[in-house]
Structure 1
Amino acid sequence: MNELDFKDRRVLITGGTNGMGNAMAHAFRARGAAVTVTGTKPAESYDTDLHGLDVRHFDAGDPEQVARLVASIEKLDVLINNGGMVLYRGKEFEAEGFQRVLDVNLTGVMGLCTGFRPKLALRKGCIINVSSLAAFSAVRGNPAYGASKAGLVALTKTLAVAWARDGIRVNGIAPGFVKTNITQVSQDNDQISDAIVQKTPAGRWGEPEDMVGPALFLASSQLSGFMTGQTLIADGGYSLQA
């Protein structure tokens, strides 16, 4: 038995047009899954590898688009809520910016989870919510991002309990500092980047591919079938340092 065989499975990964989501998408595709990914731009706008992926233009902060995406996918085995956003220069301290980030990072995730619940229940599927280390400590300058990611950890626990009898497992991944578009500002600042590397026992930034293993593990009913409500921290040991 191949515990990582996803043949005849349908996987949806929000934010799968680049970064961690794109790495996950190709990993599932390589193992037989039909993979749909979403992004905030049309498919032709990306310079990443989208070969073999069903690409959808999607804004998780728009309830109508959430409803349309749910209606457009007939069956689903794995829902990975990876898409998210952050605002800089103090914009998250403003009411409009704070609300926008929560709409995308938390409310939109809830909409997808509840919308796909009946379809996931039919397939005994699973949900993986991608949170962040920001869920567990203060995030200077980004109150909405931190609050939304902390909310995802709590949401993961709550939905795991609520939907266990449907046969739906709900787990999460909390990445540390990974080289993605969201962290580009920190990557480009040598002082900040060096401090991150020094505090990380693994001695480096995370790569998008580092999140593939946790995602495959949590999506496999053979490997993690008795796990639900958990958020795995994948940060190279960063959070272990005081």
Structure 2
Amino acid sequence: MAGDLDFSGKTVLVVGGSSGIGNGIAHGFRERGAQVHVWGTRSDPADYDPAEGSDLAGLVYAKVNVADRGEIEAHVPPFDRLDVLVLCQGTVIYKRGEFAPEGWDRVMAVNLDSLMACAAKFHDMLAVAQGSIVIVSSVSGFQANRGNPAYAASKAGAVSLTKTLGQAWAGDGIRVNGLAPGLVDTKLTTVTTEHPDRLRGAMARIPARRLGQPSDMAGAALFLASPLAAYVVGQTLVVDGGLSL
């Protein structure tokens, strides 16, 4: 079983792997032998603050703004083989900003449109390698999210895209699956985690009685990309400590 989680000799790309959940997933693969590439939005790796959950040691970094489809298409990756593509890009706009057209468009471009653009870009490499895609969505994809209509809709779209690409590309030898995190301790969730009353309320709804960590999401991603999940196609694994129950 341990050998099934050995990614030595494999090439992995984590889009959105510069911080938070994506960074945790990237290091999960790196610790198991993979050469891991990550995409982020800042010009230089030194621009990332470790206090924000960014650790780029041992990872190959590239700046790609996935909100711009043209930038995705123009990027020339420094590898010619890809075994695992993890799509973990995401953004959210608070204070009802997603109700405005500009906020809606921004969130949908990053959280949904770019998933398809990235998946399509690397389809052929993944087919040759008989590889897999892991799409990171959210429990918000299964329920309402007050104040964040674009976030919730984009994550629901990500869940549906996982099913559809799983069905469409299984015949090409590409397994597409996803994971849906609950409340994970990252910079995107500080609106909750840095406010004691909100945090207490959130914790009361989590049966596991703790926040999720990026490493928890890494475990799920490793499983989905491994031979242990060889017969799992088009599924989204909820990883939320029981929050959605």
Category of TM-score, reference length = shorter chain: over 0.9
Distance (Å, rounded) in 1 between the aligned partners of 2:60 and 2:240: 29
Distance (Å, rounded) in 2 between the aligned partners of 1:176 and 1:223: 23
Distance (Å, rounded) in 2 between the aligned partners of 1:229 and 1:62: 26
Give the AA of the match of 2:221: A
Which consecutive residues of structure 2, in runs of 5 or more, have no partner in the other structure? Answer: none
Question: Is 1:36 matched up with 2:21?
Answer: no
Measure how far apart 1:75 and its partner are.
1.5
Q: In the alignment, which residue of structure 2 is the partner of 1:180?
A: 186
Distance (Å, rounded) in 2 between the aligned partners of 1:70 and 1:122: 18
Question: Is 1:235 matched up with 2:237?
Answer: no
Distance (Å, rounded) in 1 between the aligned partners of 2:160 and 2:79: 27
Deviations 1:62-87 (A, max 9, x none): 11221133655422110000110001
SS of the residue corresponding to residue 188 of structure 2 reads coil
Pairing partner for 1:134 from 116, 137, 140: 140
Pairing partner for 1:45 from 44, 47, 62: 47
Q: In the alignment, which residue of structure 1 is the partner of 2:160?
A: 154
Aligned residues: 239
Q: In the alignment, which residue of structure 1 is the partner of 2:115?
A: 109
* Superposition map of 1:60-99 within 5 A: 60-69=66-75, 72-99=78-105
TM-score by length of 1: 0.96
Question: Is 1:26 matched up with 2:27?
Answer: yes
Would the alpha carbon gap of residues 21 and 101 (structure 1) be closer, same or farther in structure 2, given more than 3 Å must change? same
Deviations 1:10-41 (A, max 9, x none): 10001111111111111111111110011111
Q: In the alignment, which residue of structure 2 is the partner of 1:124?
A: 130
Q: Is the 8 A contact 1:70 1:115 kept in 2?
A: no
Distance (Å, rounded) in 1 between the aligned partners of 2:211 and 2:25: 18
Pairing partner for 2:173 from 167, 172, 181: 167
Deviations 1:202-229 (A, max 9, x none): 0111111111110110010x20000010
Q: Is the 8 A contact 1:70 1:112 kept in 2?
A: no
Deviations 1:90-115 (A, max 9, x none): 11001111011101110011000111
Q: Is the 8 A contact 2:28 2:215 kept in 1?
A: no
SS of the residue corresponding to residue 12 of structure 1 reads strand
Measure how far apart 1:53 and its partner are.
0.5
Aligned-pair identity in percent equals: 48
Distance (Å, rounded) in 2 between the aligned partners of 1:85 and 1:69: 21
Give the AA of the match of 1:45: D
